[in-house]
Structure 1
């Protein structure tokens, strides 16, 4: 049975980061796998072979270290899985074979290997959202490639057309397919800039535009129906419904903005926050229905207003994503229960507020960007000139109608 160990190699320069590598031992032969992960000596516990979160650490560094912990746990799990499969097969194998199988998707000379390193670099410099976007895209591309890397020279228009056909066969809509293509193009262009390959324009025959999506909303009657459902026997669905209603009460606040609301954002009856998507600052008059939802949950000891990000020792983005997935899964089931003709998701609350606002003759200038404007530049123009009291009045009208 092979053994897998995580090792830290300090830099010869005391002020520089050292490197993490994996040691594979089988048949008394040891092999090493470099990871590209960088740490300072005080961030590594040699006895326990694990990352250490030092007191007083910067927030961006803490998030990076939490990310490394998760990535290393995933890598070790993959390595142990490879060893288990080889043991089950019964044939003899070497440490080199383990490294070869593990490196099949980690080949630094290939496109996927380059993409992985780029994602790691983006995380190191604090560009987490871009890193997450690229990770989502790369995971899709890896499924298409069946976990195999491809040389830079192999990334051509034929490959991308094949990938587009694969996405269509998987039921991926044109906008999502375009999303993946645009991100892969950005990664590819980075490789070209670094001189790792020449520009072959591999995306010239695939769709990289943006279709106008069909907006989905529900009526005030449906919102009232969702609000009044007795979900006492299903706490998880009740939690999803409460977050849906909170979004509606706050003029269709997006789930990610709800997740990052801090208690300090609520001052003197005004909720102030910046949209994650546009960095636009919004002010919302605090209403009784909002407080009623907050009062349902115990968030003592947490800086967050809502119980979405709850564990300070875990990556906040991962917690947000897990919560969003759970909430939308439960909302879909809730929507099916009441016979909605469309899938019920957290986004529906956002669009419903806009649709209801329009039905009450509330001026278009009071409705936010994701509620019908064609571009963010148009939204900024509207929001920059808004009297927030008009928006608060509009919101009060809608909440009173419930």
Structure 2
């Protein structure tokens, strides 16, 4: 069989992903390709070179660069996905279980949630006037993500003006497309008004993303906002007298979920509140919950953090 270029095909896949608007995935594939070409010192790689021995050497090479388990796993999963796509298109015959025994899982290396007391301290505004303006803004976004049922920053940044009707916010998760419905509490509404986008030409609810950017430039614009947020949030604990605590854009989401479980909110309610996709049977079961059940769960968590009042979940 004629030799097929792995690197050439992988570049084709990256371009396909870009055309489909899947810029985040294309970004990950591009860095996986950099890792592979860096391993061989540049040049073209053919599918015939991808043996189990070669792949294990590649894995050891990335480990030698002191990359995290999750980074190594991501690169391996990308190579596997590209390989399987080539098999599906009948470009190569494929080898059974070629990637068996390699790192392909996800490892949680550190705790992403904080306690109710720690979150309350992080969100205190007593001394925020002494903070750099960028850190104060990031502190507000951390609070807003928490108040909106642990909404991820990607969803917060992409909220549109039409998503908010009165105190009801209805949008779709960027990651899964799952509908997310949030009853906006007064504390959250005050922050929304503070950062509401006043540009009539912008579709965005909040003043985070630039309206003029489109397609791939919009993706990289979002990535820059995310980097800024995480950079500022990393400074927040020390400014709040909590040195050693790690805070990032994930903190609000994981804290909301963890505290909800601690307050004995049913896992089905937590799942719906976070907008997680789930098995069809579970989705059918979740339809029985009304919006006020989610609002009740959110209120329990907010009161626990801000008032120190731990109210356990009680079914009506």
TM-score by length of 2: 0.81
Q: Secondary structure at the match of 1:172?
A: coil
Q: State the partner residue of 1:244.
A: 142
Q: Is the 8 A contact 1:144 1:166 kept in 2?
A: yes
Give the match for residue 79 of structure 2.
184
> Residues 204 and 211 of structure 2 are in contact (CA less than 8 Å); yes or no, is this contact kept in structure 1?
no
Structure 2: distance between partners of 1:300 and 1:255: 20
Contact 1:249 1:289 in 2 (8 A): yes
1:170/1:379 Cα in 2 relative to 1: closer, same or farther (>3 Å)? farther
Distance in 2 (CA, whole Å) between partners of 1:151 and 1:187 is 13
Of 216, 219, 224, the residue aligned with 2:120 is 224
Q: Given the alignment, which residue of 307, 316, 333 partners 2:207?
A: 307
Q: What corresponds to 1:329 in structure 2?
A: 231
Cα distance change of structure 1 residues 209 and 370 upon mapping to structure 2, 3 Å threshold:
farther
1:57-206 equivalences under 5 Å are 110-200=5-95, 202-206=98-102
Once the two structures are superposed, the pairs formed by residues 250-329 of structure 1 within 5 Å of their partners are 250-297=148-195, 299-301=197-199, 302-314=202-214, 315-329=217-231
Question: With CA pairs under 8 Å and 6+ residues apart, which has the higher RCO, 1 or 2?
Answer: 2
Q: What is the Cα deviation at residue 304 of structure 1? A: 0.8
Instruction: Write the deviation string for residues 71-118 of structure 1: whole angstroms up to 9, x where unpaired.
Output: xxxxxxxxxxxxxxxxxxxxxxxxxxxxxxxxxxxxxx6322221111
Give the Å deviation of 1:215: 4.7
**Cα 1:380–1:345 shift into 2, 3 Å:** farther
RMSD: 2.9
The whole-number CA distance in structure 2 between the counterparts of 1:129 and 1:333 is 26
Instruction: Give the TM-score, by structure 1 length.
Output: 0.65
Which aligned pairs between 1:329-348 and structure 2 lie closer than 5 A? Answer: 329-337=231-239, 338-339=241-242, 341-348=244-251
8 A Cα contact 2:196 2:205, kept in partner: no
Residues 399 and 239 of structure 1, relative CA distance in 2, 3 Å threshold: same
Equivalenced residue count is 293
Shift of 1:352: 0.8
Please state how far the C-alpha of 1:271 moved relative to its aligned partner.
Answer: 0.4
Tell me the CA shift for residue 205 of structure 1.
Answer: 3.9
Give the Cα–Cα distance (whole angstroms) in 1 for the partners of residues 20 and 175 of structure 2.
19
Q: Distance in 2 between matches of 1:260 and 1:116?
A: 29
CA distance in 2, matches of 1:148, 1:216: 40
Aligned to 1:358: 261
CA distance in 1, matches of 2:65, 2:140: 33
Once the two structures are TM-superposed, the CA of residue 258 in structure 1 deviates from its matched residue by 1.0
Change (3 A) 1:231 1:148: farther
In 2, the alpha carbon distance for the partners of 1:261 and 1:379 equals: 26
Higher strand share: 1
Q: Output the CA distance in 2 between the equivalents of 1:231 and 1:173.
A: 34
Residues 228-268 of structure 1 show CA distances to partners (whole Å, capped at 9, x for unaligned) of 14343412212221211111001111111112110110002
CA contact 1:299–1:305 (8 Å) conserved in 2: yes
Contact 1:365-1:386 at 8 Å conserved across structures: no
* SS of residue paired to 2:292: helix
Change (3 A) 1:291 1:385: same
Unaligned runs of 5+ in 2: 307-316
Alpha-carbon distance change, 185 to 370 in structure 1, aligned in 2, over 3 angstroms: farther
